[in-house]
Amino acid sequence: MLSQNPFGSVNVLCLLYTTDTKEEVRTAVRTALEAGYRHIDTAYNYKNEDAIGEVLQEFLKSGKVKREELFIVTKLPMIHMEPKLVKHSIDISLKNLQLDYLDLYLIHFPVPFEYDGNDENTFPETESGGWKAAEKFDLLGTWKAMEELMDLKLTRSIGVSNFSISQVERICKVAKYKPVTNQVECHIYWPQKDMFEALEKLGVTITAYAPIGSPGRPQFLKGNGDQIALLEDPVIQRLSQKYGKTPAQILLRNLLQRGIIVIPKSVTPERIRSNIQVFDFSLTKPEMDEIDGIKFSQQYFYKMGAMFPTHPERPW
């Protein structure tokens, strides 16, 4: 298994980006399930729920996996954050995934977008080419609508993604069902120590996306291309050689030993199989301390927050 968390013992695979073709997604899910993964993370915005649903049904109908063995996660898109649209959105996702319920449903991002009635227009643009954020917003109202999905048994748990500490705290103060996790960028260059400490006090876990630096993220998120590659860090490279493990495996092992859930993204079969091979070794305390002492700081998804410089719910 790739991680232990409050939702049960599950394996983790993250399937991101609309740039992945449907066939790449199908191959990735088949490879992952055959390798032992049981946690599939996707989102309405990624536009690959239907491809994932096809493979899930293929494995379920053949008896290769049972539904209770799977942990399926998807996310509420920003265009559907108006409370009255939340159930409409999960209904679309469940139809695409060919499932009766989700194991976890997340609010994808705390900034809502304008909804023009077109469910396919997930990133509405302004005349200047930016994303069109909604002027009216009710984050706590959205959370209440998420809680109603729990009562309807459409999802077994709910959480958030890309939320700030204060936003999670606001929700926890009024929540009937607290978020079980906050899915955020987290790795050795962006360790989220303050977030981890604050959420631990609230009883909320952290799920790390981009745990290996997301080298395959879309070009528009890469900025000018001068960011340092996480996989090339000299400390990680040295430990990779010592243990005979890939740099990605060292990075994943570090986060797992910190008690963080990890969702490495890949559609490459060889890397998918490799990313799960992290339970036959452990990093020593001095090695964990050395990684913890890395001073270099870098966020790979900073452009997401920079696109909403004045919005009250901008998380960073």
Q: Which of 44, 46, 105, 300 is catalytic?
A: 46
Q: Please indicate whether residue 44 is annotated as part of the active site.
A: no
Distance of alpha carbon 253 from alpha carbon 276, whole angstroms: 10
Q: Return the residue matching tokens 């900034």.
A: 111
Non-local (6+) Cβ contacts of 40 within 8 A are: 13, 15, 29, 32, 52, 56, 70, 71, 72, 73
Q: What phi-psi label fits residue 218: left (phi over 0), alpha (psi between -120 and 50 degrees) or beta?
A: beta
Q: 129, exposed or middle or buried, with CB in 10 Å at 0-12, 13-18, 19+?
A: exposed
Distance of alpha carbon 184 from alpha carbon 163, whole angstroms: 8
Determine the residue type at 292. D
Q: Give residue 262's Cα distance to chain centre.
A: 8
> Which residue from 205, 140, 211 is spatially nearest to 176, judged by alpha carbons?
140
Q: Which residues does the annotation mark as catalytic?
A: 46
